Amino acid sequence: MSETAKIIVEGKEYEFPIIVGTEGEKAIDISKLRDLTGHITLDIGFKNTGSTKSAITFLDGEEGILHHRGYSIEDLAEHASFLEVSYLLLYGKLPNATEYREFENAIREHTLANEGLQAMFNAFPTGSHPMGQLSSMVAALGLYYPKSLNPHRSEEAISRTIIRLMAKMPTICAMIYKKRNGHPTIYPKNSLDYVTNYLNMTFGQVTMSEYEPDPVLVSAMNKLLIFLADHEQNCSASTVRVVGSSQSNLYSSISAGISALWGPLHGGANQEVLEMLEQIQNDGGDVQKWINKAKDKNDSFRLMGFGHRVYKNFDPRAKIIKKACDDVLEKLGVNDPVLDIAKQLEEAALTDPYFIERKLFPNVDFYSGIIYRAMGFPTDFFTVLFSMGRLPGWISQWQEMRKEKQPIARPRQIYTGETIRPFVAMKDRI
């Protein structure tokens, strides 16, 4: 007999089924609550509300677990490429050699972006934020592929749209970087793998005969993108689902997800890490002074990149990316006082009882920010890289929502405004 939960409303008892996920997560299914009782639940910020059932990602913040389609993030980061993980998220399984080759070749066919996008770039104000550009450019793709606006097109056509977006995202991200620096666009080189191609379009120059990124950098970028690929029902993933539930096309749904990620409370964490480090450096570089400020409960200063709102004990991604971070810094031999400050903060967090007892561990945002800076990315570009990594997760969420035929999202509310009032003509208003 299945478990139920009993809710007493105005003296009457109602039973609601308890749903159990494959990893033992439990939820009270209140889908019929309003119909049966006339009441709704109030859960500001949806912190206790499951908006959907999903087979994509399992996350346990207390135990520090992150799985994609049943595979641990540790195994995926160690053994798979970002494109393999993308295939896994999109299609529910790791590809065999033939499937991977076909997937990679399909993406290679669509890496070029319409030259009309370049004209759009030129119209953007100088100094406009890269995330605003990215959101606009992804939304604009729907204008170049009007058939994608039809929500009832064939599965083959939808798959083509998914491939097209996966293919063009690195190209657009690289174009944004080049425009920022006033450099000409580098076109995709389809002989390269997905990540190497992106790095070539970003850091290559038309004056170079060849750009060969160091394998250490390629490996680090692969891992960073894998770590970002999906993270359950976060703000941007939920946004993609909500927008997509209206049968909005994939491009506009992903554009909405990018806009949600743009917010500093979501995707801007690694940018905030670097801004904090620069603040410490500009203040003279006295790390201990700022550690003391972080310990002072009366001081508003907070260390960015330490602890995690979801992972309560440790971030399973941080251990792996720490090694990649060390490898990148060693390989590049970067002499940067800001990164020296980062290493001092890391040492304090890993050895100081204050941080250990409070589980203020360096998280993936801390290490990713350091890697991005060492590679030469400006801080306001970090979230663009986040978007590129999160793309397969967003698409998978959109696709799952569509295939499950989930209804249009329509949250309820508790009204707290004025009750009915008589209308007063303007001449009589005080």
Task: Give 75's pLDDT tier (boundaries 50, 70, 90).
Answer: very high
The reported pLDDT for the residue numbered 306 is 87
3-class DSSP assignment, residue 306: strand
Inform me whether the pLDDT recorded for 1 exceeds 60: no
| CB-based contacts of 272, cutoff 8 Å, min separation 6 | 264, 304, 305, 365
What are the tokens at 52? 């959907």
| Catalytic residue (choose from 67, 68, 315, 365) | 365
What are the tokens at 135? 């959101």
The reported pLDDT for the residue numbered 55 is 97
Please give the average per-residue pLDDT across 344-369, as a whole number: 87
Q: The pTM is what?
A: 0.92
The reported pLDDT for the residue numbered 308 is 81
Inform me whether the pLDDT recorded for 273 exceeds 60: yes
- Segments in 234-268 forming alpha helices (H): 235-244, 250-262
Domains along the chain?
4-50 (2.20.28), 72-264 (1.10.580.10), 269-379 (1.10.230.10)
79: annotated active-site residue: no
How is residue 299 annotated by DSSP?
A: S
Task: Give 334's pLDDT tier (boundaries 50, 70, 90).
Answer: confident
Please give the average per-residue pLDDT across 95-104, as a whole number: 98
> What CA–CA distance (Å, rounded) separates 172 from 354?
44
Q: How far is CA 248 from CA 174, 236, 240, 387, in A?
A: 26, 15, 10, 19
Taking each helix axis from N to C end, the angle separating 382-403 and 269-282, rounded to the nearest 10 degrees, works out to 160
CA 365 to chain CA mean position, Å: 11
Inform me whether the pLDDT recorded for 111 exceeds 90: yes
| Catalytic residue (choose from 68, 231, 308, 315) | 308
The reported pLDDT for the residue numbered 60 is 92
Please give the average per-residue pLDDT across 326-337, as a whole number: 86
Inform me whether the pLDDT recorded for 45 exceeds 80: yes
308: annotated active-site residue: yes
Inform me whether the pLDDT recorded for 152 exceeds 80: yes
For the chain, give percent helix, strand, coil, nearest 5. 55, 5, 40
Q: In one letter, which amino acid is 107?
A: I
The reported pLDDT for the residue numbered 264 is 83
Inform me whether the pLDDT recorded for 309 exceeds 80: no
pLDDT tens track for 155-175: 999 999 999 999 999 999 999
